[in-house]
C-alpha cells in the first residue's frame, strides 16, 4: 500500500514539474468548433465549453494543486508548531488559552474558516493558500503540544536543562526536532486534504479564478454542463481522488513505519 | 453527573462570546460595501447616508457589536440587506433542511462507519479488512462535492431514481445524505478499526479468553463497547468535519439550508445574514461536541466518577 | 493416570519472519488436589507454559509441540470450540495483572456472572446469588455492595479477589494462576496466598501456581518446577528441592534468599544475566553462568533425568552417577 502511495505521489510530482512538456495541447488554446466534445483519440478526456483540451488542463491543474497543497500545509505546520510548542513548553494560562483556541479552530469545519478568510482577502490563488493554511494549523498545534508535553520530562531534556541550556535552545534544538515525526505524517495526509479544500473553494467560486486551470475551478465551470459534458467534472475529480489517495496511502504507511506500539503481544 | 453537565453548559457561554467576536470582526474586515450593492449605480448621496444609518453602519465597531449582541439575545438577528426580511425568519426557515441533512448523514456515517470498522478489525489482515479499509479510505479522500455530482449523474440523470435537486420529498434527501455520510463513515471506520485493534491488546482480553468466551461474543460485548469510547470523543471533535460537507452539498443539490444561505449571502455581502448563519453553524458544531462529551461521560464509568 | 501431564512441551512463535522457540523441553505432572509451583526469572517461559496449558498460545499465533494431557485427554488435539468449553469450566486461568484484567466498563459482579453463565445454565437471579456467595467465601467484605461496583472503584487486593472469583465460580478442577500476587502489597499478598491454600484444601481444586517468589512456593506448594531460559531444569517435591537442590541453577537461586542471622555481605547473586529468547546459548542454556560447566554442557542440551522417584533434573552432573 505504501509503495502504491509513493508511486502515486512521484507521478504527481513528475506531472507537476513537466506539465508544459506533457500537455498535448496548450491548456488555454480555445476552439469553439470542437467545444464540449466527448473523449476521443484526439482529445483523450474530451474538451470543455471553450473547446479546450481537458487532458491538458488536468495536467496543468496537477501543478497548481501540488503547489497549493504543499505551500498551504507549510503555513499550517509553521503556525501549528509555533503555537503548539509554546503551549506545551510554557504550560499554565498560556497553554489553556492557546489550547482552547486550537481546539475551537480544530472543531470547526475547515471549509467555513477558509470561506471566511477568502471573503476577507478576496478570491485568488494566493488568498486560497493563505486561507487553507489558516484553516488547518490547529491539528499540528495539538500534535506538537502533546509531543512536547511527553518529552519535557524525558531524561535527556532534564540533562540538557541542567547543563544550563536556554529555553530557546531547548525548544528549537531539542524539543521540536524530536517531536516532528507525527507532524510529518500528519502533514503528508494534510497535503491531500488541502488539495481537496482548494478544489472545494474553487467549486464554490471562491478559489482560483478562470481561466486558471485549477481542478476545483474546472469542476465548478463544469457543473453547468454536467448533463451534456460530464467529462469536464469526472476527470479532474478522478485526478484529484487519485492524488489524495496517494498522500493518504503514503501517510498511512509512514504511520506503520514510525509506530511500533501496534505490534501484537499476548 | 449533573454538576458536570451544568459546568459544561456554562462553558458554552464564553465560547459563544469568543465565536461571536471572531465572526463579527472578520465580517467587518471584508472589503466592499453592502450599501453599494444595495443601491446600484447612479444613486444619490443622501440615500447612502440614510441607508448607512438605517443599518447602523455609521457607528463604531465595538458599539455595533454590542448592539448586535443585545439584539441577538433578544431574538432579533437583524434585517437582511438584500432579502429585506428578518434574518431570524430566514434562519428558522432554513435550519430544518440543514438539520435533516445533517442528522441523516450522521446516521449513515455512524452505522456504515462502525460496521466497516468493526468487521475490518475482527477480520484483521484478511480480504474483508482490505476491502472495508479501501471503502473507508475512498470515503475520506473523495471530495464531497465531486461525489455528489457523480452520484447525481448516475442516479438522477442516468437512472432517474432520485430528483436532481429539491428538498421536499424523502427521495430528495437520499443522495445528499449519502454523499455527506460516506465521508463521515470513512473517518469513523478508520477510527473504530484502530480503537478496536488497540483494545485487543489490553490485558482484560486475556481474562475474557480464560472465561471461555468465543471471539465474536467477546467482540460484541467487550471489545466494541470499550472501543466506542474514544470513537465517541473523536466524533464529537470531528463533527464539524462531517458537517462541513453538508455546506457544500447544499450547493451541489441546490437544497435550501444554512450553508446555501451563507454562501449566497457571502457572494452578495449581506453582512447580517453571513454573521447569523456563521454563528448558527459554529454553535451547532460546538453543541454537537458538547453532546458527545456528555455521552462519553455517561458511557464510561471511570469518567462518570471523575465528575461525581 | 496423572491429573495433568505435560510432556516435551515447546512453543514456537513467528517474529519478523523468523521462528523463535521461547519454551522447549518442559515436562512435569501433577496429581489431583496437588499444588504445583513453577519458579523462574522474568522471561524464563513460565507464563507461556501457563498460556499453553489453557490454550491461549495458539490464539496468539503460537505453534505448540509435545503433549498436554488433562485427565487423560490430550488438550492439544482439541478444537478451539472444544477448548472453549473446558477453559473457564474445568481449567480456570488467573492472568498476571489483576489491576488491568477486568473490563473497565462493566460492574464486577456482572463480569463474574458472565464467567458462570458461560458454562452453567442458570437464571440471572440464581447466578447473582451464587456469585455473591462465592465473593463472600473469598473474604470480600460487603459482597452485595462490591457486586455493583466498577473495577476502578476497587483496591488492588479486591480486584484480585474478583479475578479469582471469576476463576473459581464454576468450580474448576484445575486453577492456573500466573503470578497472582506480584502486583499486590506484601500484606495483601499474604492474604491471597492463604486464600489459595484454603481453596485447594477445602474445595479440592488443583493449583498450578506461577511465581518468582520462592517464599510463596515454600508456603503452599507440594511440587516445584524450576524454569531457566525457556527450559525446565528441575522438577520434584518441595522437600527435595529445598533440602537437596540438584541443579546448579536451583542451588544458586536458593542461595539468593536472605535469611535472618545471615552474616552481612554474604548474600550471593548469580553471576551473569539471563539470555533472552532467540539468542539462547548452545548446549545447556545455563552453562555460561554455571561453575561446573564442561565441554559437553557447551555442546548439547542435557535431557531431563529421573534421579529419584518423581524428581527430575536436567544436568550432566548426574548422568555419571547413575
Q: What is the pLDDT of residues C107-129, one digit of tens each?
A: 999 999 999 999 989 999 999 99
Q: What whole-number distance in Å separates Cα of residue C235 and Cα of residue A111?
A: 70
Q: What whole-number distance in Å separates Cα of residue A236 and Cα of residue A54?
A: 8
Q: What whole-number distance in Å separates Cα of residue B174 and Cα of residue B176?
A: 6
With cut-offs at 50, 70 and 90, classify the pLDDT of residue A265.
Answer: very low
The three cell numbers locating residue A86 = 509554546
The three cell numbers locating residue A43 = 482529445
Q: Is the pLDDT of residue A39 over 80?
A: no
**pLDDT recorded at residue B33:** 64
* Measured CA distances, B173 to A111, A172, B156, B176, B178 (Å): 22, 52, 12, 6, 9
Distance from CA of C60 to the nearest CA of A (A): 6
- The DSSP output letter for C311 is E
CB atoms within 10 A of CB B47: 12
Q: Is the pLDDT of residue C187 over 90?
A: no
The chain A residue lying nearest B282, using CA atoms, is A108
Q: Is the pLDDT of residue C149 over 90?
A: yes
With beta carbons under 8 A apart, name residues in chain B contacting C119. Answer: 212
Q: Say yes or no for a CB contact (<8 Å) between B209 and C56.
A: yes
Judge whether C209 and C196 are in contact, CB under 8 Å.
Answer: yes
Q: What whole-number distance in Å separates Cα of residue A223 and Cα of residue B165?
A: 13
- The DSSP output letter for C89 is T
Q: Say yes or no for a CB contact (<8 Å) between A196 and B141.
A: yes
With cut-offs at 50, 70 and 90, classify the pLDDT of residue B43.
Answer: low
The chain B residue lying nearest C87, using CA atoms, is B212
Q: What whole-number distance in Å separates Cα of residue A77 and Cα of residue A176?
A: 12
Q: Say yes or no for a CB contact (<8 Å) between B210 and C92.
A: yes
**How buried is residue C139: exposed, middle or buried, by Cβ count under 10 Å (0-12/13-18/19+)?**
middle
**Of C256 and C151, which is predicted with more confidence?**
C151
Q: Is the pLDDT of residue A32 over 80?
A: no
**pLDDT recorded at residue B81:** 77
Instruction: List, in order, residues 6 or more apart from A19 with CB less than 8 Å away.
Output: A59, A60, A62, A63
- The DSSP output letter for B158 is I
Residue closest to B87 by CA, chosen among B295, B301, B276, B298: B276
Distance from CA of C223 to the nearest CA of B (A): 24
Phi and psi angles of residue C71, each rounded to the nearest 5 degrees, phi first: 50, 45
Q: Is the pLDDT of residue A240 over 70?
A: yes
The chain B residue lying nearest C106, using CA atoms, is B301
**Of A50 and C37, which is predicted with more confidence?**
C37
Query: What letters, b where the CB count within 10 A reaches 16 and e where it falls short, cover A150-173?
Result: ebeeeeebeebeeeeeeeeebbee
**pLDDT recorded at residue A208:** 76
CB atoms within 10 A of CB C301: 16
**pLDDT recorded at residue A83:** 93
Provide the edge-to-edge strand list for the sheet that holds C4-15: C18-30, C4-15, C63-70, C73-74
**Of C315 and A265, which is predicted with more confidence?**
C315
H or E segment to which residue C93 belongs: strand C91-94
Q: Which of residues 72-91 of C touch B (CB under 8 A)?
A: 81, 84-89
Q: Say yes or no for a CB contact (<8 Å) between B247 and A111.
A: yes
Q: Is the pLDDT of residue A30 over 80?
A: no
| Reported ipTM | 0.85
Q: What torsion, rounded to 10 degrees, do the Cα atoms B65, B70, B74, B77 define?
A: -10
Q: Is the pLDDT of residue A262 over 70?
A: no
Compute the C-alpha angle B260/B261/B265, nearest 5°.
Answer: 115
Q: What is the pLDDT of residues B180-212, one digit of tens each?
A: 898 889 888 988 988 888 888 888 998 999 898
What is the arithmetic mean of pLDDT over B284-293? 83
Q: What whole-number distance in Å separates Cα of residue B47 and Cα of residue B45?
A: 5
CB atoms within 10 A of CB B35: 19
**Of C322 and C320, which is predicted with more confidence?**
C320
Beta bridge partners of C210: C38, C178
Judge whether A207 and A201 are in contact, CB under 8 Å.
Answer: yes
- Strongest mean pLDDT among A63-67, B9-13, B196-200, C34-38: C34-38
Please indicate if any CB of chain C lies within 8 Å of the CB of A266.
yes
- Determine the number of helices (DSSP H) and then strands (DSSP E) in chain C: 11, 12
Q: How many CA atoms lie within 13 A of B260 on its CB side?
A: 19
**pLDDT recorded at residue B50:** 73
**pLDDT recorded at residue C36:** 92
**pLDDT recorded at residue C266:** 66
* Measured CA distances, B288 to B9, B247, B293, C67 (Å): 12, 16, 9, 57
**Of C238 and A160, which is predicted with more confidence?**
C238
**pLDDT recorded at residue A111:** 87
The three cell numbers locating residue C318 = 548426574
With cut-offs at 50, 70 and 90, classify the pLDDT of residue C13.
Answer: confident
Of A106, A203, A265, the CB nearest to B248: A203
With beta carbons under 8 A apart, name residues in chain B contacting C82. Answer: none
Give the percent of chain C with pLDDT over 90. 21
The subunits that touch chain C, with at least 3 C-beta pairs less than 8 Å apart, are A, B
Residue closest to C109 by CA, chosen among C87, C88, C94, C124: C124
Instruction: Read off the pTM.
Output: 0.81
H or E segment to which residue B100 belongs: helix B87-122
Distance from CA of C44 to the nearest CA of B (A): 20
Mutant choice from C61, C95, C109, C166 vs B, greatest count of B C-beta within 10 A: C95
Q: What whole-number distance in Å separates Cα of residue B73 and Cα of residue B71?
A: 5
The chain B residue lying nearest C154, using CA atoms, is B302
Q: How many residues are listed for chain A in this entry?
A: 266
Q: Which residue's entry shows cell 459563544?
A: B16
- Strongest mean pLDDT among A44-58, A81-95, A165-179: A81-95
Judge whether C242 and C236 are in contact, CB under 8 Å.
Answer: no
Q: Which residue's entry shows cell 464539524?
A: B240
**pLDDT recorded at residue C109:** 92
- Average model confidence (pLDDT) for chain B? 83
Beta bridge partners of B17: none
Q: Is the pLDDT of residue A87 over 60?
A: yes
**Of C58 and C48, which is predicted with more confidence?**
C48
B–C interface: beta-carbon pairs under 8 A: 79
Instruction: List, in order, residues 6 or more apart from C42 with CB less than 8 Å away.
Output: C212, C274
**pLDDT recorded at residue C290:** 85
Q: Is the pLDDT of residue B40 over 70?
A: no
Q: What whole-number distance in Å separates Cα of residue B125 and Cα of residue B264?
A: 47
In SS3 terms, chain A reads as CHHHHHHHHHHHHHHHHCHHHHCCCCCCCCCHHHCCCCCCCCCCCCECCCCCEHHHHHHHHHHHHHHHHHHHHHHHHHHHHHHHHHHHHHCHHHHHHHHHHHHHHHHCCHHHHHHHHHHHHCCCHHHHHHHHHHHHHHHHHHHHHHHHHHHHCCHHHHHHHHCCCCHHHHHHHHHHHHHHHHHHHHHHHHHHHHHHHHHHHHHCCCCCCCCCCCHHHHHHHHHHHCCCCCHHHHHHHHHHHHHHHHHHHHHHHHHHHHCCCCCCCC
**pLDDT recorded at residue C147:** 93
Q: Say yes or no for a CB contact (<8 Å) between A264 and C59.
A: no
- CA of residue B14 relative to chain centroid, distance: 21
Q: Is the pLDDT of residue B240 over 80?
A: no
Q: Which residue's entry shows cell 465548478?
A: A220
Q: How many CA atoms lie within 13 A of B176 on its CB side?
A: 34
With beta carbons under 8 A apart, name residues in chain A contacting B263. Answer: 115, 204
Q: Which stretch of A88-102, A195-209, B17-31, C226-240 has the lowest confidence by average pLDDT?
A: B17-31
Q: Which stretch of A120-124, A193-197, C64-68 has the lowest confidence by average pLDDT?
A: A120-124
What is the arithmetic mean of pLDDT over B223-241? 82
Q: Say yes or no for a CB contact (<8 Å) between B143 and A241.
A: yes
Q: Say yes or no for a CB contact (<8 Å) between B149 and A262.
A: no
Q: What whole-number distance in Å separates Cα of residue B167 and Cα of residue B163?
A: 9
What is the arithmetic mean of pLDDT over B97-103? 87
Q: Which stretch of B142-156, B165-179, C215-229 has the lowest confidence by average pLDDT?
A: B165-179
- Average model confidence (pLDDT) for chain A? 80
Q: Which residue's entry shows cell 449513515?
A: B108
Q: Is the pLDDT of residue A130 over 80?
A: yes
Amino acid at each position: 500500500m505504501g509503495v502504491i502511495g509513493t508511486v502515486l505521489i512521484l507521478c504527481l510530482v513528475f506531472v507537476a514539474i513537466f506539465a508544459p512538456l506533457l500537455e498535448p495541447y496548450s491548456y488555454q488554446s480555445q476552439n469553439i468548433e470542437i467545444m464540449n466534445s466527448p473523449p476521443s483519440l484526439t482529445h483523450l478526456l474530451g474538451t470543455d465549453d471553450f473547446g479546450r483540451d481537458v487532458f491538458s488542463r488536468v495536467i496543468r491543474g496537477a501543478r497548481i494543486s501540488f503547489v497549493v497543497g504543499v505551500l498551504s500545509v507549510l503555513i499550517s505546520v509553521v503556525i501549528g508548531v509555533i503555537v503548539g510548542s509554546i503551549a506545551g513548553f510554557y504550560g499554565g494560562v498560556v497553554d489553556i488559552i492557546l489550547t482552547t483556541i486550537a481546539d475551537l479552530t480544530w472543531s470547526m469545519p475547515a471549509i467555513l474558516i477558509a470561506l471566511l478568510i477568502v471573503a476577507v482577502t478576496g478570491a485568488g490563488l494566493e488568498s486560497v493558500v493563505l486561507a487553507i493554511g489558516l484553516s488547518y494549523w490547529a491539528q499540528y498545534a495539538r500534535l506538537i503540544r502533546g509531543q512536547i508535553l511527553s518529552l519535557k520530562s524525558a531524561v535527556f531534556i532534564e540533562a540538557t536543562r541542567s547543563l544550563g541550556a536556554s529555553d530557546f535552545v531547548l525548544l528549537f534544538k531539542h524539543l521540536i526536532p524530536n517531536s516532528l515525526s507525527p507532524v510529518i505524517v500528519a502533514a503528508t495526509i494534510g497535503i491531500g486534504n488541502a488539495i481537496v479544500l482548494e478544489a472545494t473553494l474553487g467549486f464554490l467560486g471562491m478559489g482560483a479564478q478562470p481561466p486558471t486551470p485549477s481542478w476545483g475551478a474546472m469542476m465548478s465551470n463544469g457543473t453547468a454542463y454536467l448533463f451534456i459534458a460530464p467529462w469536464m467534472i469526472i476527470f479532474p475529480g478522478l485526478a484529484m481522488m487519485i492524488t489524495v489517495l496517494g498522500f493518504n496511502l503514503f501517510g498511512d504507511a509512514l504511520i506503520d513505519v514510525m509506530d511500533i506500539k501496534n505490534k501484537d503481544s499476548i | 453527573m449533573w454538576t458536570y453537565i451544568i459546568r459544561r453548559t456554562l462553558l458554552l457561554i464564553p465560547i459563544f462570546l469568543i465565536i461571536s467576536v471572531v465572526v463579527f470582526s472578520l465580517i467587518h474586515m471584508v472589503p466592499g460595501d453592502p450599501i453599494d450593492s444595495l443601491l446600484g449605480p447612479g444613486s444619490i448621496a443622501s440615500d447612502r447616508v440614510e441607508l448607512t444609518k438605517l443599518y447602523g453602519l455609521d457607528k463604531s465597531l465595538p458599539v455595533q457589536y454590542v448592539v448586535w449582541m443585545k439584539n441577538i439575545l433578544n431574538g432579533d438577528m437583524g434585517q437582511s440587506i438584500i432579502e429585506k426580511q428578518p434574518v431570524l425568519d430566514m434562519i428558522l426557515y432554513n435550519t430544518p433542511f440543514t438539520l435533516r441533512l445533517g442528522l441523516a448523514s450522521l446516521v449513515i456515517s455512524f452505522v456504515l462507519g462502525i460496521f466497516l470498522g468493526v468487521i475490518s478489525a475482527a477480520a484483521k489482515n484478511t480480504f474483508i479488512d482490505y476491502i472495508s479499509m479501501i471503502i473507508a479510505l475512498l470515503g475520506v479522500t473523495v471530495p464531497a462535492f465531486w461525489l455528489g455530482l457523480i452520484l447525481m449523474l448516475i442516479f438522477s440523470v442516468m437512472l432517474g431514481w432520485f430528483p436532481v435537486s429539491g428538498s421536499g420529498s424523502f427521495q430528495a434527501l437520499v443522495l445528499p445524505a449519502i454523499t455527506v455520510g460516506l465521508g463521515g463513515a470513512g473517518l469513523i471506520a478508520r477510527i473504530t478499526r484502530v480503537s478496536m485493534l488497540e483494545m485487543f491488546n489490553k490485558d482484560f482480553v486475556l481474562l475474557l479468553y480464560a472465561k471461555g468466551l468465543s471471539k465474536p461474543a467477546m467482540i460484541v460485548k467487550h471489545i466494541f463497547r470499550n472501543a466506542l469510547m474514544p470513537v465517541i470523543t473523536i466524533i464529537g471533535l470531528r463533527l464539524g468535519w462531517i458537517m462541513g460537507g453538508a455546506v457544500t452539498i447544499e450547493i451541489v443539490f441546490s437544497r435550501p439550508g444554512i450553508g446555501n444561505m451563507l454562501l449566497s449571502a457571502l457572494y452578495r455581502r449581506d453582512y447580517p445574514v453571513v454573521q447569523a448563519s456563521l454563528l448558527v453553524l459554529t454553535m451547532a458544531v460546538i453543541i454537537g461536541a458538547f453532546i458527545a462529551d456528555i455521552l462519553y461521560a455517561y458511557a464510561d464509568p471511570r469518567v462518570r466518577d471523575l465528575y461525581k | 493416570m496423572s491429573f495433568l501431564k505435560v510432556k516435551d512441551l515447546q512453543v514456537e512463535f513467528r517474529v519478523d519472519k523468523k521462528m523463535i522457540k521461547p519454551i522447549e523441553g518442559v515436562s512435569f505432572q501433577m496429581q489431583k488436589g496437588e499444588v504445583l509451583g513453577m519458579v523462574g526469572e522474568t522471561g524464563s517461559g513460565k507464563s507461556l507454559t501457563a498460556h499453553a496449558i489453557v490454550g491461549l498460545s495458539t490464539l496468539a499465533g503460537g505453534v505448540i509441540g509435545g503433549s498436554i494431557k488433562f485427565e487423560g485427554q490430550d488438550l492439544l488435539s482439541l478444537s478451539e470450540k472444544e477448548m472453549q468449553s473446558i477453559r473457564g469450566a474445568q481449567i480456570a486461568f488467573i492472568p498476571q495483572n489483576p489491576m488491568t484484567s477486568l473490563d473497565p466498563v462493566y460492574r464486577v459482579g456482572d463480569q463474574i456472572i458472565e464467567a458462570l453463565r458461560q458454562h452453567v445454565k442458570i437464571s440471572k437471579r440464581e447466578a447473582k446469588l451464587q456469585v455473591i456467595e462465592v465473593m463472600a467465601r473469598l473474604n470480600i467484605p460487603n459482597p452485595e455492595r462490591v457486586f455493583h461496583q466498577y473495577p476502578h472503584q476497587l483496591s488492588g487486593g479486591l480486584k484480585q479477589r474478583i479475578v479469582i472469583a471469576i476463576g473459581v465460580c464454576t468450580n474448576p478442577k484445575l486453577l492456573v494462576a500466573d503470578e497472582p500476587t506480584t502486583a499486590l502489597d506484601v500484606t495483601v499478598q499474604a492474604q491471597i496466598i492463604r486464600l489459595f491454600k484454603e481453596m485447594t484444601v477445602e474445595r479440592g481444586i488443583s493449583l498450578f501456581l506461577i511465581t518468582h517468589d520462592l517464599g510463596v512456593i515454600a508456603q503452599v506448594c507440594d511440587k516445584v518446577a524450576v524454569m531457566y531460559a525457556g527450559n525446565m531444569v528441575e522438577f520434584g517435591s518441595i522437600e527435595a528441592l529445598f533440602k537437596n537442590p540438584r541443579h546448579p541453577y536451583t542451588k544458586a537461586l536458593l542461595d539468593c534468599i536472605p535469611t535472618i542471622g545471615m552474616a552481612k555481605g554474604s548474600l550471593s547473586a548469580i553471576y551473569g544475566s539471563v539470555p533472552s529468547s532467540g539468542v539462547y546459548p548452545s548446549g545447556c542454556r545455563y552453562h555460561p553462568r554455571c561453575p561446573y560447566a564442561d565441554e559437553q554442557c557447551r555442546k548439547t542440551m542435557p535431557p531431563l533425568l529421573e534421579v529419584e522417584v518423581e524428581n527430575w533434573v536436567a544436568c550432566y552432573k548426574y548422568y555419571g552417577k547413575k
